[in-house]
Amino acid sequence: MTEAFTLVRDAPLAALNTLRVAAGARYLATLDDAYLVPQVLESPELRDLPLLVLGEGSNVLFAADFDGLVLRPAWRGVHIIDDDGTHATVRADAGYGWDALVDWTLAQQLAGLENLALLPGLVGAAPIQNIGAYGAEVREFVSGVEAWDRKQGQRVRLDPDACAFAYRDSVFKRDPDRWIVTAVEFRLPRAREPNLGYAGVREELEIMGFARPTPAQVAQAVRRLRRRKLPDPATLGNAGSFFKNPIVPAHRAEELRAADPGLPVYPAGDATRKLSAAWLIEACGWRGFREGDAGVSAQHALVLVNHGHATGAQLLALARRVADSVGQRFGVRLEPEPRIVGAEF
C-alpha cells in the first residue's frame, strides 16, 4: 500500500456499480497515478488474475462475483495541450468524471461535447463505449487515446483510425483484456453550429426561450431532457440504456415501419437503418414491468432497474426475456450495452 495505490481483498462492489447489484471481487485496486498500472499488474499476487477495469460502474452488470482483480482509475487531471484559436486539444485523464469534463470544456468556451452532457461514467470509458446521445458520438471529437497495452507491455497512443470506432463499440471494447485506457485527447472547436437534429432538443430549447442557443444552453436542455426521461441511479439502481438501438438493412426497416408506422427509424449509412430499441420494447408491453426487485423503468423502456435487492442473475434473466420477446414479435435481435460480468448474454 502507498499513498497512490490501495489494495483490498474480498472487496464488496455493490456501491461501485450503478445497478447496485451485490457482488464481490477477489481484489480491488484503486490507483491515483496511471504510471502505477504496470507495477500493480506485475505484482506477484495479482499477475495471473483476470482483470476488470471499473470506473463509475455505470455500464456493467455483475451476474456473479469477479474472481480476479478489479482496477479503479482514480487519476484525475485535465488541461489544454494545444490551441490555435479556432480549435483546442484537451487532454483528460481516465479517472476524470465525464459530465465534469463537459462542464470544464464549456467553461473554456469550447463546443462539441454539449449533447453528451449528464452521461454517467468516467472519461476513460468514453472511447471504449464510443458513448453517444442526442445525435452525437464521442468519436467525432477524439483525437487520440492513451492506453497501457498489456500485450506489448508499454504505453501507447492510438489515433482515431486505430481506435476502430463503431456504434457503441471500439477496439478497446472488442479486446478488453488488452487495453487499459489512461487518458483521452479531444479536439474541440471554439464555434460550431449546434447539433439540434435529435428529437426533443430543439423543442426543449424553444420552451426555455433560447432561439440561438449557445453550447452551454444546449447542454442545459439535454440535462433537462435526461432528468425527465431517465431514472436517477442515485435513487433507483440502473445502468442507463440497457440495449443498443439495433441496426438493420434498410429494406428490413421499411418492412417493419410499413407494418408499424409509428416505429422510429433513423439513418445509419447508405444501406442500413437504426431502430428505436425503446419503442420495440415498449410495443412488447415491458415498460413498467416488475418481477420482485428486477424491473423495466416506467419512465423509459430501455432502462432496466433494481428496485432494491435484485441480483445480477435476476436482472440478466429479465433482459433475456425482453430481448426474446422483441425477437419473436419483430424478428430483430437486441444486444446489451453494458458489459456483463460472469455470464454470456
pLDDT tens across 30-80, in order? 999 999 999 999 999 999 999 999 999 999 999 999 999 999 999 999 999
Q: What percent of the chain is predicted at pLDDT more than 90?
A: 97
176 band by pLDDT with thresholds 50, 70 and 90:
very high
Query: Cα dihedral sign for 175, 179, 182, 183?
Result: negative
Query: Which DSSP letter does residue 244 get?
Result: P
Would you say the C-alpha torsion 275, 175, 96, 159 has a positive or negative sign? Answer: negative
| Length of the chain as a residue count | 345
**How large is the average pLDDT for residues 8-27?**
98
Distance of CA 322 to the CA centre of its chain: 21
Q: Is 337 a catalytic residue?
A: yes
Give the C-alpha separation, 257 to 268, whole Å.
Answer: 16
pLDDT score of 123 more than 80: yes
The residues of the chain that CATH labels 3.30.43.10 are: 5-73
| Domain 237-341 fold | 3.90.78
pLDDT higher than 50, residue 2: no
Which listed CATH number (3.40.50.1110, 3.90.1150.10, 3.40.50.2000, 3.30.465.10) goes with 78-189? 3.30.465.10
CB 152 within 8 A of CB 103: no
| Active-site residue identified among 58, 143, 170, 241 | 241
Q: How large is the average pLDDT for residues 15-26?
A: 97
- Residue among 168, 226, 273, 287 flagged as catalytic: 168
Q: What is the structure's pLDDT at 1?
A: 43
CB-based contacts of 117, cutoff 8 Å, min separation 6: 99, 102, 219, 220, 222, 223, 226
Instruction: Please say if 43 is a catalytic residue.
Output: no
Q: With the CA atoms of 163, 239, 336 and 342 taken in that order, what torsion angle do they form, in degrees rounded to the nearest 10?
A: 90
Q: What residues does CATH 3.30.465.10 cover in the chain? A: 78-189
Cα 249 from Cα 243, distance rounded (Å): 19
- Report the pLDDT value the prediction gives residue 5, as an integer from 0 to 100: 87
**C-alpha to C-alpha distance for 174 and 14, rounded to whole angstroms:** 26
Take residue 172 and report the three cell numbers written for it. Answer: 478497446
For 303-340, letters b (16+ CB in 10 Å) and e give bbbbeeebbbbbbbbbbeebbebbeeebebebebbbbb
Span 5-73: which CATH code? 3.30.43.10
Q: Which three cell numbers stand for residue 2?
A: 502507498
Q: Are 294 and 321 in contact (CB under 8 A)?
A: no
Residue with cell 452521461: 119
User: Contact 165/131 with Cβ under 8 angstroms?
Assistant: no
Residue type, 261: P
Compute the average pLDDT of residues 223-244.
95
- Please check the confidence at residue 211 and state whether its pLDDT lies above 50: yes
CA distance 119 to 133: 8
Query: In which band, very low, low, confident or very high, does the pLDDT at 164 lie, cut at 50, 70 and 90?
Result: very high
Q: 187: left (phi > 0), else alpha (psi -120 to 50), else beta?
A: beta
